[in-house]
């Protein structure tokens, strides 16, 4: 049996729903998210993305040459994204030097542990992490300003296309993987889904 990304989504629909649907995002859509909640997400996600950059670089280091184009495109986009996060933080007069919260740190540490797993597992994790934001920011529907800019960043057609390319690359590698490695990929997918939900929850409970 060959595992595919789509099978993972079909096997764990509830887990994936909780990763991509959260009151945090619904309140962004409605414009009712509290500044403290949103700013916590923004500063913590910047920290996450810095660690995610290392994960992407490690994934590139393990990738076959045929996958370089897509991954290099991803790294190039992350360069813009990190600069954009700094702009957004400055607009809101937020310091990006804050310490990671436990939930953010746990996700970053898990990601670092995936860097030493087989490439098929890394490719699956990379796809799932990017799909979570691609879907999460789109599912609530058109967002009001200023949150529409955030929804656009991960919901735009170019990003959607990038996620499809990541899926194709992960599928290609999963097809040739041992059952053991497929099992690892499945476990990593579940972990991504749980961490994504926890990350929204971390920001959502600020100020409660």
Q: Alpha helix locations (H) across the chain?
A: 5-11, 13-20, 23-30, 35-62, 68-91, 102-114, 119-136, 147-155, 157-175, 179-204
Residue 170: name the closest of 129, 126, 117 by CA: 126
Distance CA(103)–CA(191), nearest Å, equals 13
Place of tokens 């997918």: 189
Nearer to ligand HMH, 167 or 196 (CB): 196
Judged by CB under 6 A, the chain residues 48 through 107 that form the site for ligand HMH are 48-49, 52
Residue pair 35/146 in contact (Cβ under 8 Å)? The answer is no
Q: Compute the least distance from the CB of residue 207 to ligand HMH, in Å.
A: 20
Q: Which of 19, 28, 45, 197 binds ligand HMH (CB under 6 A)?
A: 45
- Piece of 19-27, 44-52, 159-167, 169-177 that binds ligand HMH (CB under 6 A): 44-52
67, 71, 127, 130: which one contacts ligand HMH (CB under 6 A)?
A: 130
Stretch of 69-77, 127-135, 155-163, 182-190 contacting ligand HMH, by CB under 6 A: 127-135
Kindly tell me which of 44 and 184 has the beta carbon lying closer to ligand HMH: 44
Angle between helices 179-204 and 119-136 (to 10 degrees): 30
d(CA 63, CA 127): 14
- For the bound state, the minimum distance from the C-beta of residue 95 to ligand HMH, rounded and expressed in Å, comes to 19
Query: CB 137 → ligand HMH: shortest distance, Å?
Result: 9
Q: What is the DSSP letter of 66?
A: G
Task: Judge contact between 203 and 38, C-beta under 8 A.
Answer: yes
The closest residue (CB) to ligand HMH is 133
Closest contact distance (angstroms) between CB of 129 and ligand HMH is 5
Examine residue 132 and tell whether it contacts ligand HMH (CB under 6 A). Answer: yes
Query: Closest distance between ligand HMH and the C-beta of residue 74, in Å?
Result: 9
Q: Retrieve residue 104's tokens.
A: 């953010």
Residues at the interface with ligand HMH (CB under 6 A): 45, 48-49, 52, 129-130, 132-133, 196, 199
């Amino acid at each position: 049996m060959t595992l595919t990304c789509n099978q993972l989504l079909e096997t764990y629909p509830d887990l994936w729903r909780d990763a991509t649907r959260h009151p945090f995002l619904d309140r962004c859509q409605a414009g009712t998210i509290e500044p403290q909640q949103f700013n916590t997400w923004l500063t913590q996600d910047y920290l996450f993305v810095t660690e995610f950059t290392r994960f992407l670089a490690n994934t590139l280091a393990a990738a076959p040459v045929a996958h370089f184009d897509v991954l290099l495109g991803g790294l190039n986009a992350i360069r813009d994204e990190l600069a954009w996060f700094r702009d957004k933080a400055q607009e809101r007069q937020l310091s990006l030097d804050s310490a990671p919260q436990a939930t953010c740190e746990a996700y970053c540490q898990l990601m670092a542990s995936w860097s030493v797993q087989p490439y098929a597992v890394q490719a699956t994790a990379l796809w799932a992490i990017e799909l979570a934001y691609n879907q999460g920011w789109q599912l609530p529907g058109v967002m009001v300003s200023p949150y529409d800019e955030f929804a656009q960043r991960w919901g735009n057609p170019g990003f959607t296309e990038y996620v499809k390319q990541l899926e194709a690359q992960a599928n290609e590698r999963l097809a040739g993987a041992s059952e053991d490695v497929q099992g690892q990929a499945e476990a990593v997918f579940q972990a991504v889904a749980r961490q994504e939900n926890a990350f929204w929850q971390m920001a959502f409970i600020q100020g409660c």
